Structure 1
Amino acid sequence: MFTAELTFECYQDTTIDAVDGAITQLIDALRYNGQILGREFPTSIDDGVFITRVVCPEEESLHPNHHSSIVEKRLQALSKAGLLAPKIRLTGMDLHSDNTDPCQQPEWQVLYTHYLSTCSPLRCGEHLAPIPLYKLPTPAIGDHQDLLRWQVDWSSTDELQMHGTTLKQACSEVLTDISSPLNHTGWQLAKDIEQQSKVPTYYYLYHLADTTEPSAKTARPCPSCGGTWQLESPLHGIFDFKCEPCRLVSNLPW
């Protein structure tokens, strides 16, 4: 991942509210297109110049070739707020982020995230490295907002159960139950991505430790079809189960 600064300059008299609204809408469009990552984008002002700091999956993530129609629309709207198109300055590599997947075309991919992840929830099956969402075909709604909102829901639920709050049990059930609304939505998103990209796309089903015997844990069937899905050896040290027909992967209890 790479850090960058977007510098917005005023070319006519305007207001803080107009500038703030225009920049926010552009940043949202870039985020929902997968060109920038995360949920917080600090913006500073200095003598009529506004600077927004972002994290991008690749060095060329903000190139116009990756813009969606919504991003283009938000760029055009900047002029109504008295702003010029942003100047982009790449400031360096982000040392605390995952490296973007190097594959041009992954053989398979998986929808996988966790409460600490801010990168793309779609990962290459071979490297488990995040795939920039702007490399996917654009959904009918024009961006990947549904996918990123699911990621926020999943990450928030995971954080609550990891921290052992009073909601731990409820959150654990939501994460592990294949029929929960959270998993139903994620699994359907994975199916939609496979249909659009023509790449086999799996959904990660979280599994927690319980009181059953180890032999029973390893023998557990696929929760969808009831078939055998345990792998001979784990993938990426995470996935111990993989059901090809159902497009599901899961883990043994940590």
Structure 2
Amino acid sequence: MIAYKVIFGTITKTNREDAEWLVEDYISVLLHNGQICGEYFLVVQKEKLCAYLNVQGRNAYAMKYHCKYGIERLHKIIEFFGRKPQWTLIDDDIPKQNITWENAPFLYLFTHMGDRRSSLCRGDNGESISIYLIPGEHEQREEIYFWQQEYKTYDQAWTYSGALEKVAYKQLATSDSELAKAGQKIGKYIEKVTGIPTYYYLVRYWGRRTNEYARLCPSCGQNWSTEVNSNEFHHFPFKCDQCRLVSHLAVSYEDERQAVIGEWGG
């Protein structure tokens, strides 16, 4: 993420509401297109409407990355303010180049409740790939955005251990949950447009004290152990090439009654 200040233009007390609506509409499109991420703030400084926000990569705000809806909103911004938005870098920590999917052995989808990065990662180093760099239309990138928000909601519900803890965990840990099916659909799309095998990550918290290493792929029932032993997140001990699923060993073995969640049912 790279922090920017964006100056849109001068406003008055009488047109501030209209100006803010146009700017928020524009920012919303950039957010859903994967160009910016996280929270943003609108402020008025010296009678100019400004936004403080984070972009997902170098020059992510460039016109070449705008979808048709972003271009449409940008033209409305220019018409209203009589000028193009002025983007000013306010972050010293910027990457030398954008991370892409090129030459990756595989890709995988993973996110969590506090994640502000893209949910698409490289399989060789775990680095996040910004969604706006993925070929295709805005609708597909927006679908990825909304899936990630839904995933984070379930992860939060599970983490906070409230009344929905078990319901949320099933969504995260089972390969045929609505959340997982939506994610696997996205994975198939990404694989189609990039040509890189794309896997869906399944959470595994509760496990078995014996034979956890031997558990089968929950989707096809075949052996999917990679025999990998590493502390690196992207070095998955379970990986099914047929079903495009990856997972880890369990975190807790204190309650084996919960271990059945996410296992092959036979």
Aligned to 2:6: 6
| In 2: Cα distance, 1:64 partner to 1:100 partner | 16
CA contact (8 A) 1:101 1:123 kept: no
Aligned to 2:22: 22
Q: How does 1:64-213 map to 2 (within 5 A)?
A: 64-82=63-81, 84-93=83-92, 101=99, 104-139=102-137, 141-142=138-139, 144-210=141-207, 212-213=208-209
SS in 2 for 1:41: strand
SS in 2 for 1:3: strand
SS in 2 for 1:88: strand
TM-score (norm 1): 0.89
Give the letter for the 1:202 counterpart: Y
Cα pair distance change 1:199/1:102, threshold 3 Å:
closer
CA contact (8 A) 2:8 2:81 kept: no
CA contact (8 A) 1:9 1:86 kept: yes
Give the letter for the 2:130 counterpart: P
Cα pair distance change 1:16/1:76, threshold 3 Å:
same
Cα pair distance change 1:76/1:158, threshold 3 Å:
same
Give the letter for the 1:176 counterpart: A
Give the letter for the 2:68 counterpart: S
| In 2: Cα distance, 1:136 partner to 1:234 partner | 31
1:233 aligns with 2:228: yes
Cα pair distance change 1:26/1:222, threshold 3 Å:
same
Per-residue Cα deviation, 1:66-121 (whole angstroms, up to 9, x for no partner) = 222221111001145445321000111469x9x96366442311111111111000
Aligned to 2:247: 250
Which moved further from structure 2: 114-123 or 160-169?
Answer: 160-169
| In 2: Cα distance, 1:105 partner to 1:64 partner | 26
| In 2: Cα distance, 1:5 partner to 1:94 partner | 15
Aligned to 1:33: 33
SS in 1 for 2:237: strand
Task: Name stretches of at least 5 consecutive residues in structure 2 with no aligned partner.
Answer: 252-266
| In 2: Cα distance, 1:7 partner to 1:230 partner | 52
| In 2: Cα distance, 1:102 partner to 1:93 partner | 22
Cα pair distance change 1:119/1:107, threshold 3 Å:
same
Which moved further from structure 2: 149-158 or 234-243?
Answer: 234-243
Cα pair distance change 1:79/1:14, threshold 3 Å:
farther
Quote the sequence identity (%).
25
Q: What's the offset of the Cα at 1:13?
A: 9.0
CA contact (8 A) 1:33 1:144 kept: yes
RMSD: 2.4
Per-residue Cα deviation, 1:140-160 (whole angstroms, up to 9, x for no partner) = x54511111111111111111
Aligned length: 248
Task: Name stretches of at least 5 consecutive residues in structure 1 with no aligned partner.
Answer: none
